[in-house]
Homo-oligomer: A and B are copies of this chain.
Amino acid sequence: MPTMLEVSGLTHQYGQGERAHVAVRDLAFTIESGQLACIVGPSGCGKSTLLRCISGLIPATGGSVRLHGDEVSGVPGDLAVVFQDYSRSLFPWLTVAKNVEFPLRWQKVSKAERSQRAAEVLESVGLSGVGKKYPWQLSGGMQQRVSIARALVSRPALLLMDEPFASVDAQTRGELEDLTRRVQRDLGSTILLVTHDIDESVYLADRVLVLSKSPASIVADLTIDLPAERNQITTRESERFVSLRGEVARLLQSPQVQRPGEPDPATAESGPGTTTVETGDTAGTADTAEAAARS
């Protein structure tokens, strides 16, 4: 598969001088086209910052992000973002339907098709019939689903989702997870999804990137070798699932960077784990290790 996204040496620092805060330091990873990668990491470690840098909303203070091999500067087309702050990301002066149609405005899509696609995607997130309401007339979970619908409507090639299911109930969450995988399969979208739910990350992902405490660096890069077709009940009950989620949980709790060559306690313990370490940039990894040691 061709490489969709290539992040190398990515560093982002907020502010300057004394008040400077390094949110992300020297991150490096690549995502293949069509992959669904989940990012997990402690609160405040820099996940949202990472997504913002990838989406070009903020320019990284160091390193580079490449999409299809081109350096990202500015927001690339063909991209959609679900923000963590979903309620603030909806336009209060537009109805729900108009909010969802919003990204289609600058595409050559007829008005009729626009509203039809908006209705479809609203239905797929379980929100048929609220199109005429305003966002502030919806509950929190409904607003979050509107923002997911808005991201999906333009059928983006790259989808960045920041804790997209945090405010919906378990059942809807399951449905949305399945929807996400369906979108990945049907549209071939590449998806980067931040989540705090370890089960969710394993269930959804082809790969799980585990980040360290702030400033974020990659602790582990886990390939999820579950079958492509997943099922909320059977997949979650499968032995492989349970072992993988155990692995992610352990990695999150003991955030040690494994150096290539050294025996890795986590993988050694968890048996047939497929923990691989980002080896593309040795210098980067070494740096990251230092950073982790410092923190």
Contacts and interface: CB of A to CB of B under 8 A. Distances in A.
B170 A252 contact: yes
A1 B269 CA distance: 48
Copies held by the complex: 2
A84 B167 contact: yes
Interface string A41-67: 111111111000000000000000000
Interface in A235-277: 249, 252-253
Interface of A: 14-15, 21, 40-49, 84-85, 87-88, 126, 137-142, 145, 162-163, 166-173, 196-198, 249, 252-253
Contacts of A49: 139
B169 A40 contact: yes
Given A42-B171, A44-B142, A84-B140, 13 more contacts: A15-B137, A40-B169, A43-B139, A43-B169, A44-B138, A44-B139, A48-B140, A88-B88, A166-B166, A169-B196, A170-B197, A170-B198, A173-B196
A22 to B, nearest CB: 13
A214 to B, nearest CB: 9
Given A44-B138, A85-B87, A170 B196 contact: yes
Contacts of A249: 170
A169 B42 contact: yes
20 contacts: A15-B137, A40-B169, A41-B169, A42-B172, A43-B141, A43-B168, A43-B169, A44-B138, A48-B139, A48-B140, A84-B167, A85-B140, A87-B88, A140-B163, A166-B166, A166-B167, A167-B196, A168-B196, A170-B197, A173-B196
B252 A171 contact: yes
Contacts of A21: 137
A13 to B, nearest CB: 13
A147 to B, nearest CB: 13
A16 B87 CA distance: 24
Nearest to A137: B14
A171 B250 CA distance: 11
A206 to B, nearest CB: 21
Contacts of A171: 42, 252-253
Contacts of A137: 14-15, 21
